[in-house]
A = this chain, B = another copy of it.
Amino acid sequence: MKITRITDKKVSLRRTIEAGTEEQRKIVQSIISTVREKGDAALFSYTETFDKVSLSSLKVTEDEFSAAYKELDNEMIEIIREAAANIRSFHEKQKRESWISYNDEGTMLGQKITALDAVGVYVPGGTAAYPSSVLMNVIPAQVAGVKRIVITSPPNGQGTLPAGVLVAANELGIAEIYKVGGAQAIAALAYGTESIEPVDKIMGPGNIFVALAKREVFGMVAIDMIAGPSEIVVLSDETARANEIAADLLSQAEHDKNSSSILVTTSMKQAEEVKAEVEKQVAVLPRVEIAKASIEAFGHIYVADDLETAIAVVNELAPEHLEVLTENPLALLNEIKHAGAIFLGRYSSEPIGDYFAGPNHVLPTNGTARFSSPLNVDDFVKKSSIISYSEKAFQNNYAKITKLARLEGLEAHARALEERLK
């Protein structure tokens, strides 16, 4: 890992977002228009091409759910239930009520909160099976009150989905799961096919084709965010332990060779120790190739002159995951402006938040914590403004409003009010 000394608080570490190549975009556009034109037939055909499996129906069956339960031991199922309960409990605290306020003139103004009708959750396939993705995307939607929740995920070589994913979905009462992945799944969720009714919003991470497809259908439906590779920043002073920091950095590095693992510390001695520990620990990981590639390409240690400078670096990085391993982590909370999730102290190692604690693991990546939030209940509702003017309020105010309308050159706006005087 490269070690860089930072002495200036005005460090510039803002990253640009990779938007895919023109060629990838063309492929995605072509997949979307083919799905819009040919429906299910296109889904079956793309699944054969990309997932190398020929399906006769897309929807997961009762038999597949039963088989999944046989693959997991009871203890695992209990842990999934406990994790689900923790996640539900945290997200319940995010719920908001509609409100109305009245004034003396009899005016009534308010905000009505309504759950979305239907959302689609994309659960990636690939090297690892992520039941936690199911829990993290579905539960906030359920807490919000979304009635129809659909999952799509690419089938494996046996034409089914990983047991953990199916059990997690079934535990949450989700029955509408389709074995389709990639840009074709996003197109189906946005526009609908014979088997899949369209949804209003599409959630969940995926590869560059999924990300580009979400960008293409954005506007037709809502999307959560364009997720990038995962990243961790550890902020530490000399009180933290190098072996623990190294282990936490590697827990991100094993995700993907594009993951970033970054340490910002006030101690040069610790920086050297962490570097050595990372080299030692990475060598004995099962996913050593991925973790090593990630650390080599994107691993970085910044050594700051003081904690204030270190925090400035952290805010500039706006990390997805931030661990604060300093003497008094809580005291720094006010200074930390930009981070998706903030883990305080040595017993709050990042994997606790990935699976179990309750807060969402769907987090803004690649510096977008500057302006984006963890997935939350607000993502599954929308608001409507309520405006009710009494006759008295109308009489007291209409002349001001017609004057404003005429300043903007909109005569019919003014006349709409004046029509009430007739």
Binding site for B on A (CB under 8 A): 16-17, 19, 72, 75-76, 79-80, 82-83, 90, 93-94, 96, 99, 101, 107-109, 111-112, 114, 116-117, 127-132, 164, 200-201, 215-216, 218-222, 226, 243-244, 247-248, 250-251, 253-255, 281, 285-287, 291, 329-330, 333, 336-360, 363-364, 368-374, 376, 378, 382-391, 393-394, 397-398, 400-401, 403-405, 407-417, 419-420, 422
Contact = CB atoms under 8 A, between A and B. Distances in A.
A114 to B, nearest CB: 5
Given A117-B337, A359-B386, 17 more contacts: A79-B403, A79-B404, A129-B408, A131-B404, A222-B371, A247-B419, A251-B412, A281-B415, A285-B412, A287-B412, A338-B384, A343-B388, A352-B397, A356-B401, A357-B389, A369-B382, A374-B385
Contacts of A350: 416
A244 B419 CA distance: 6
Contacts of A345: 388-389
Given A254-B410, A400-B82, A226 B219 contact: yes
A108 to B, nearest CB: 7
Contacts of A414: 351
Contact of A388 (B329, B389, B408): B329
A382 B281 CA distance: 35
B404 A355 contact: yes
13 contacts: A108-B344, A112-B333, A128-B410, A130-B408, A247-B419, A251-B410, A336-B384, A347-B389, A348-B389, A351-B401, A363-B385, A374-B385, A378-B378
Number of this chain's copies in the assembly equals 2
A112 B369 CA distance: 12
Interface centre among A117, A222, A281, A355 (most CB of B within 10 A): A355
A99 B108 contact: no
A384 B341 contact: yes
Judged by DSSP, the binding face of A is mixed
A413 B82 contact: no
Contacts of A404: 76, 79-80, 83, 131-132, 355-356
Nearest to A403: B79
Contact of A359 (B116, B387, B390): B387
B342 A17 contact: no
B79 A386 contact: no
B400 A356 contact: yes
A371 B346 CA distance: 40
Given A220-B16, A387-B352, A410-B255, A109 B75 contact: no
A338 B354 CA distance: 34
Nearest to A221: B371
A112 B255 CA distance: 27
B219 A19 contact: yes
Contacts of A219: 17, 19, 215, 226, 368
Contact of A76 (B291, B342, B364, B403): B403
A399 B415 CA distance: 70
A201 B368 CA distance: 10
Residue from A281, A356, A371 having most chain B Cβ neighbours under 10 A: A371
Contacts of A355: 401, 404-405
B387 A344 contact: yes
Given A112-B342, A384-B340, A422 B75 contact: no
- Most interface-central of A286, A376, A408 (chain B CB within 10 A): A408
Contact of A407 (B164, B216, B382, B409): B164
B387 A341 contact: yes
Contacts of A343: 387-388
With most chain B CB atoms within 10 A of its CB, the pick from A17, A80, A382 is A382
A109 B89 CA distance: 11
B342 A384 contact: yes
